[in-house]
Amino acid sequence: MTYGRFVPIISDKYVDKDFGTGVLKISPGHDHNDYLLARKLGLPILNVMNKDGTLNEVAGLYCGLDRFEARKKLWSDLEETGLAVKKEAYTLRVPRSQRGGEIIEPLVSKQWFVTMEPLAEKALQAVEKGELNIMPERFEKIYNHWLSNIKDWCISRQLWWGHRIPVWYIVGKDCEEEYIVARSPEEAFEKAREKYGNNVEIYQDPDVLDTWFSSALWPFSTLGWPDAAAEDLKKFYPTSVLETGHDILFFWVARMVMMGLEFTGKVPFSNVYLHGLIRDSQGRKMSKTLGNVIDPLDTIKEYGTDALRFTLSLGTAGQDLNFSTERLSSNKAFTNKLWNAGKFVLQNLPRQSDSSAWKALQDFKFDNKESVFQLPLPECWVVSKLHMLIDDVTMSYDKFFFGDVAREIYDFFWADFADWYIEASKARLYHSGGGSVASVAQAVLLYVFENILKLLHPFMPFVTEELWQSLPNRQEALIISAWPQTGLPRQAESMKKFENLQALTRAIRNARAEYSVEPARRISASVVANSEVLQYISNEKEVLALLSRLDLENVIFTESPPGDANQSVHLVASEGLEAYLPLADMVDISAEVQRLSKRLAKMQSEYDALMARLSSSSFVEKAPEDIVRGVREKAAEAEEKLTLTKNRLAFLQSTVLVSN
């Protein structure tokens, strides 16, 4: 079919002898693996196809035919000449254009390459010497592996858009032997005239540089390079941090390092922070094919920009993040909580026209031990916790632990400031009669809240800036305000004391919930502890009563149990701190006895039914193991609840007897 071309038969391990006939045709000009095999064995590299998909003169009888027509005609000719053995269906991978869907034909061609080993050696040394720090550290191994096994880089691309390859050819000359490299067409033409005379004609290589090649020049090419005196280049190169996805560590990051070292002698950045990829809720990569791509603009419209930013920032460096609406909803609620906290602070600050009140607020200082240690217990606690947070967050920012930063701020704002201090401050603002007690609460609310805004601003710039500029007496925008000072005083003793107050409050709240006490109902309490503990707890009597919904007039502080202890619910809040809540204050004891008796009877019958199943040998032996295990777990849980209910019922019955 090719005018008698000789086809050699060779032996090589590359061929799978158990597949098909055990004989494989080699087409080095049209298959990457065949090309490598041909280079190894010294076979000629034959190309039978033109760039328009027609066959060339190397194809012999089929020269000029379209590729698809040629395949049909070849098979037809093989059948006519009796050379065809059999025809059978076979499935194979066919490469297609992503955009147009056309079948792509592998084709050997001449391309421009970059010799990579000398460049890679410098980039490897940059990490080895500590000039380049990659985070997370585990990606250093991937970086080193790629650069240690690097191949020459093909930088020619047959695209319409991009940087043209700066190579010109001579009309009438062999382009593989005669070419000119220049910075501009004028320079190229000047070089050509010097070598070939004034009548020379030249044309530029139609290919463009690989996008990654152009991108690799970005750190310095955008700053005025090659003018070493350019102001931007001197000021911003090299920079400190590159932040990018871990999937382009080699494609982009390593190449920027190599190009930076080659052309400027400097590593373009000292730190590389690699974030994870955003995947869908099932952990799949987002793609048009799967139809799981999420448009961030739609997400912003529904949840807000700050909630989206905060959600993505909670990820761990280098670890992919499954994108879920549950997280978005949670962080939208966090944004709302922040906004409502801001409203609370604003509503409880003095009027801007009240200069004396504002002077009193500004007189409070939180940067020295004496002023912080003299604060009342809740204020000293929250300021101390804030100062600890500032140190921890600043350290995490410095180490690029952004996920830790986000979680630390979230926990402090929600669990400490919003849930505890804002609630405790209401005792100062609404129940203390105002004066200096209210002023200290106002000063602490403002101080803590404005520092929360500063710490949170890099994650949630819009809501924090809006809240900041709504606060009185703002001299500058939050984005350019000073970062909070580190190393500020905190008092461990006050934090421990307030934790005891929290434990007591939680114990009382849990007891109220356990006995289904109406939220609006105020109950009595006797707090029992030694004199030292009683002193600081009793000083915060209003706070305790407000947070625990106690009857302020009937909260007693004593060093020994009260006389009606046997008719009270006994709570152990922490070591050396207890409370007694009179049962008659919380429930109608007779009604509660009746309710629990009915509940106990029902629970007993459910427990007996479970035990009957487990005592049946046929069930235990024949039922699936997971079913039997599930029944055993239910029985154990039912037994535990049964015991608790019996104990509570016995306690209530004994209380009825005592009162009678």
What token pair was written down for 551? 């009857």
**pLDDT value at residue 526:** 93
Quick: pLDDT tens for 313-350.
Answer: 888 888 898 888 898 999 999 999 999 999 999 999 98
Tokens of 553: 């007039």
> Shortest CA distance to 246 belongs to which of 142, 121, 373?
142
pTM value is 0.77
Torsion, CA 558, CA 561, CA 566, CA 567, rounded to 10? 0
pLDDT recorded at residue 257: 98
Closest listed residue to residue 308, CA positions, set 292, 332, 342? 332
State which CATH number among 3.10.450, 1.10.287, 3.40.50, 3.30.70 fits the domain covering 590-658: 1.10.287
Token duo for residue 493: 């003793």
3-class DSSP string for 415-434: HHHHHHHHHHHHHHHHHCCC
User: What is the CATH code of the structural domain delimited by 1-107?
Assistant: 3.90.740.10
Residues of the chain short of pLDDT 50, as ranges, are 658-660
Instruction: Please report, for the chain, the start and end positions of each structural domain, with discontinuous segments joined by +.
Output: 1-107, 113-165+205-275, 324-483, 494-587, 590-658
Predicted local distance difference test score (pLDDT) of residue 206: 93
DSSP states of 241-271? EEEEEGGGIIIIIIHHHHHHHHHHSS-SEEE
DSSP run (H or E) holding 179 = strand 179-181
Residue 268: which of 225, 209, 318, 212 has the closest Cα?
A: 225
With residues binned 3-state (H G I as helix, E B as strand, rest as coil), the percentages for the chain, rounded to 5, are 55, 10, 35
H helix runs in 204-324, sequence order: 211-216, 218-221, 231-236, 255-264, 296-303, 305-313
Q: Which CATH number fits domain 324-483: 1.10.730.10, 3.40.190.10, 3.40.30.10, 3.40.50.300?
A: 1.10.730.10
Query: Which whole-number Å values give the CA distances from 124 to 112, 147, 149, in the listed order?
Result: 24, 7, 11
According to CATH, the superfamily of the domain at 113-165+205-275 is HUPs (3.40.50.620)
DSSP conformation letters of 517-558: --TT--EEEEEEE-HHHHHHHHHTHHHHHHHHTEEEEEEEEE
**Residue 166 CA from chain centroid, whole number:** 42
Q: 510 by DSSP, 3-state: which?
A: helix
C-alpha span between 27 and 396 (Å, rounded)? 57
At 469, give phi and psi (nearest 5°): -75, -10
Predicted local confidence at residue 660, as pLDDT: 45
How high is the pLDDT of residue 177? 84
Cβ-based neighbours of 301, under 8 Å, separated by 6 or more? none
